[in-house]
C-alpha cells in the first residue's frame, strides 16, 4: 500500500470558494479513478494551507492516478492558486 501526501500553501488571494472547488474536484476523482482507494482533503483556515492524503494499492496505481486526464485537469486548476507544494510518498 502506498500513502501519497501533498501539501499546498495557497496564495493569499486564493478565495474560500476556490479552496472549496479544489476540494470538490479532488474528491470527485474517487468516482473516476478506480486505483484511488482512499482520499482525505484538509483545509487549514488559519494558514490557508491545503493537504491531500490518499492511498493506493501499489506504486503502479499511484502512477496511473497521477497520469490520469481527470487528475491532470485538477492539477491545471490548482497550479495557479498555490505558492508551491510538498509531496511525500511512502509504503505502509
pLDDT digits (tens, 9 = 90+) for 2-47: 999 999 999 999 999 999 999 999 999 999 999 999 999 999 988 8
Structural domains in the chain (count): 1
Radius of gyration, CA atoms only, the chain: 13
* Cell numbers standing for residue 19: 479552496
Q: How far is CA 67 from CA 1, 19, 45, 72, in A?
A: 19, 23, 30, 7
Per-residue pLDDT, 45: 81
pLDDT digits (tens, 9 = 90+) for 59-75: 999 999 999 999 999 99
Give the distance from CA 10 to its chain's centroid.
13
Sign, CA dihedral 60-66-48-85, equals positive
Domain CATH code at residue 71: 3.30.70.100
Range of the domain at 35: 2-91
The pTM (predicted TM-score) of the whole model is 0.90
Amino acid at each position: 500500500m502506498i500513502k501519497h501526501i501533498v501539501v499546498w500553501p495557497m496564495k493569499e488571494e486564493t478565495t474560500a470558494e476556490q479552496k472549496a472547488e479544489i476540494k470538490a474536484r479532488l474528491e470527485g476523482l474517487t468516482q473516476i479513478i478506480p486505483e484511488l482507494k482512499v482520499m482525505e482533503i484538509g483545509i487549514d483556515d488559519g494558514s490557508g494551507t491545503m493537504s491531500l492524503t490518499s492511498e493506493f494499492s501499489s506504486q503502479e496505481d499511484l502512477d496511473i492516478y497521477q497520469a490520469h486526464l481527470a487528475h491532470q485537469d485538477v492539477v491545471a486548476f490548482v497550479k495557479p492558486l498555490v505558492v508551491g507544494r510538498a509531496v511525500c510518498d511512502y509504503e505502509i
